[in-house]
Amino acid sequence: MPVDPNATAEVTAFRWVPPFAEGLVRDIRIRWALEEIERPYRVRLIDAMSPRPPEYFLEQPFGQVPCYRNDEVQLFESGAILIHLAISEERLLPFDRAARMRSVAWMIAALNSVEPAILELANIDIFNRGEGWTKERRPQVIEKIQARLKHVSDALGEQEWFEGRFSIADIMMVTVLRNLRHTTLVAEQPNLAAYVARGEARPAFQRALADQLAVFAQHQPEPEGEAA
Amino acid sequence: MPVDPNATAEVTAFRWVPPFAEGLVRDIRIRWALEEIERPYRVRLIDAMSPRPPEYFLEQPFGQVPCYRNDEVQLFESGAILIHLAISEERLLPFDRAARMRSVAWMIAALNSVEPAILELANIDIFNRGEGWTKERRPQVIEKIQARLKHVSDALGEQEWFEGRFSIADIMMVTVLRNLRHTTLVAEQPNLAAYVARGEARPAFQRALADQLAVFAQHQPEPEGEAA
């Protein structure tokens, strides 16, 4: 099993998050990639519910997770960490240069052409839930996401994975699309729904998910103010 | 001069955009990188103001610019194109692997940790200008951008460029921050303002900008309905 307290490689992850974020925190992308290539890593836990210690910003400029480090690199941004892990691992990225760059393009598309609208919806549905402005804005964001997903669906077509083989493009796209699990937007594009399900069915994803959730279960806060 | 109708490499760009987008369209990132390494390219123009022809989506799944192709690759997403151009060009990316991956991390941070909030502000100030929801939402987005820029400013510190030397991280970060030119948000962080000015002062940026603007000037639409 990749999670190993004595491993050289270290990934930062949150100790506990509220249920809406369970299984969605971005260290899952790195855990998944590491599981695919059977490379051991240890986990360093960060408290998501308190301000980050100032020194953490030296590792992750925005105070987020994941960071990744081993004896060679110290990195932040899940997209950069995935490229680093994939660069000499054909299981994560084709060696042929043209194909390799196409997979990188799809990975970056997930981060910059698909995720921003999805994050806007998360603000509306979760972080700013119930605020007046969200009612007027929500239909516009839904429409934007639908348009983007239609393009993603058209490009995927009947392929099993982007560019015809599993790569970090799929790790990124599947984990980005999972942020829509509280909606039916992915289900509106049957090939995308099947694609996400294929990603989630991979044993490496299942192990990564179980490991992220196990940490949260272990650090579940005590219910407050409940009378005996 | 890199723009050369007979070049093998091709970049797509818009024929004309309204003034708010002049100098900001993302082909500027690729033009800038190509100018830095003195590599010739030809430009293929796409009409921004009409629906894209269906076949363009086969090149760019979201119908955007830029696409890049030469005899080796066919790519979309400015971040992926920059990585491709930089991969064997030390002028754009250090060769040392740890330093190289840090620069890629900063490039992706610009795309995924900085740009999304800036795009949200562009929706409020430009694309959805005057809609009721924007009044309530705008201060929240400003606050989010301020927090992110503070982190970027802290990480840059007194360095001239991210990670101590010019790279595609700076091409991306400078062009992302330029999308705030209609605000004083960058000016609130003096080291960031100086950083953007340093980027804009580079001769390669100046040539890239002039070439993007020249196309728009050449294709300026005729004013409609003006009586003689």
pLDDT of residue B228: 47
Task: Please list the residues that pair with B44 across neighbouring strands.
Answer: B12
Give the Cα separation of B75 and A101 in Å (integer). 7
pLDDT band at B226 (very low <50, low <70, confident <90, very high): low
Place of tokens 């509106």: A188
pTM, to two decimals:
0.97
Ordered by where they begin, the domains of chain A are 10-91+205-218 (3.40.30.10), 97-202 (1.20.1050.10)
Give the Cα separation of A33 and A39 in Å (integer). 9
Q: Which of residues 202-221 of B touch A (CB under 8 A)?
A: none
pLDDT in tens, A131-143: 999 999 999 999 9
C-beta atoms of A151 and B63 within 8 A: yes
pLDDT in tens, B153-165: 999 999 999 999 9
Contact A78/A108 with Cβ under 8 angstroms?
Answer: no
Contact A37/A68 with Cβ under 8 angstroms?
Answer: no
pLDDT of residue A222: 85
- Phi and psi (nearest 5°) for A131? -70, 150
pLDDT in tens, A5-64: 999 999 999 999 999 999 999 999 999 999 999 999 999 999 999 999 999 999 999 999
Give the Cα separation of A110 and A220 in Å (integer). 31
Contact A86/B86 with Cβ under 8 angstroms?
Answer: no
pLDDT of residue A223: 79
Task: Please list the residues that pair with B42 across neighbouring strands.
Answer: B10
Task: Give the DSSP letter of residue B70.
Answer: -
pLDDT at A70 over 70: yes
Q: What's the rounded mean pLDDT across residues B54-71? A: 97
pLDDT of residue A228: 47
C-beta atoms of A61 and B155 within 8 A: yes
Q: What is the interface size between A and B, counted as CB pairs within 8 Å?
A: 128
DSSP secondary structure of A169-200: HHHHHHHHHGGGTTSSTTTTSHHHHHHHHHHH
Closest residue by Cα to residue B68 from B16, B31, B24: B31
Of A73, A116, A137, the CB nearest to B116: A116
pLDDT in tens, B64-79: 999 999 999 999 999 9
Suggest the residue from A26, A93, A101 to mutate for an interface test with chain B (most B CBs closer than 10 A): A101
Q: Which of residues 132-161 of B touch A (CB under 8 A)?
A: 132-137, 140, 148, 151-152, 154-155
pLDDT of residue B140: 98
C-beta atoms of B116 and A113 within 8 A: no
C-beta atoms of B61 and A152 within 8 A: yes
- Contacts of residue A60, Cβ cutoff 8 Å, sequence gap at least 6: A12, A67, A76
Length of chain A: 228
pLDDT at A1 over 70: no
What count of other Cβ atoms lies within 10 Å of the Cβ of residue A142?
A: 15
